[in-house]
């Protein structure tokens, strides 16, 4: 199984197991798992060594975002709440700021914003995450930044998430 916990740190180190290659054309990421996302802009670069489908890091090194999909029966059988909890395993001292269900490109997604620390004694990190399920896959989207700068790049993450679209197989 490819799904694993998300670890977030102040230095925007994100680790999530993934299984697909990366194809980016004209600022659009195309996943082998059948979805696409528009990259948020020149301030963000692709983390080459990431195990997520797509991980982006802000040029200042303090913020990161990712997208990942799991397309197996085991992941699809779990509730969105359980999947979101798994995504946040390893985040200590969680304090939820927002939690709701939202429409994401015509599909229902579980959304959560929280403060926490990756290590019990680590620096504070604010995290925004979405979990979306459909008949084929479970999609995770996450953004992490220090609380003081979180709002500065949140619009980039929102545009990134809102650009999500399914693609037809080639």
What tens digit of pLDDT does each residue of 69-88 get? 999 888 778 877 777 777 77
pLDDT at 90 over 90: no
Residue 17 has pLDDT above 60, yes or no: no
Q: What is the CA radius of gyration of the chain?
A: 15
- What is residue 11's predicted lDDT score, i.e. its pLDDT? 28
| Three-state SS at 126 | strand
CATH superfamily for domain 22-166: Mog1/PsbP, alpha/beta/alpha sandwich (3.40.1000.10)
Measured at the alpha carbon of residue 162, what is the angle toward residues 158 and 167, in degrees to the nearest 5?
145
3-state helix, strand, coil in the chain (%, to 5): 15, 45, 40
**Beta strand residue intervals within 4-91, DSSP E:** 22-25, 28-31, 35-38, 44-46, 54-58, 64-70
């Amino acid at each position: 199984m490819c799904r694993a916990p998300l670890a977030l740190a102040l230095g925007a180190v994100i680790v999530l197991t993934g299984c697909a290659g990366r194809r980016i054309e004209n600022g659009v990421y195309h996943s082998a798992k059948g979805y696409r996302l528009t990259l948020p802009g020149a301030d963000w670069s692709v983390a080459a060594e990431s195990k997520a489908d797509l991980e982006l890091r802000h040029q200042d090194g303090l913020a990161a975002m990712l997208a990942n999909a799991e397309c197996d029966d085991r992941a699809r059988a779990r509730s969105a709440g359980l999947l979101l909890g798994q995504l946040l395993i390893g985040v200590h001292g969680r304090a939820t700021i927002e939690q709701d269900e939202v429409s994401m490109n015509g599909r229902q997604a579980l959304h959560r914003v929280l403060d926490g620390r990756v290590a019990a004694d680590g620096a504070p990190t604010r995290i925004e995450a979405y979990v979306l399920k459909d008949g084929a896959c479970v999609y995770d989207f996450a953004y992490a930044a220090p609380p003081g700068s979180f709002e500065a790049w949140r619009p980039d993450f929102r545009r990134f998430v809102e650009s999500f679209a399914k693609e037809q197989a080639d």
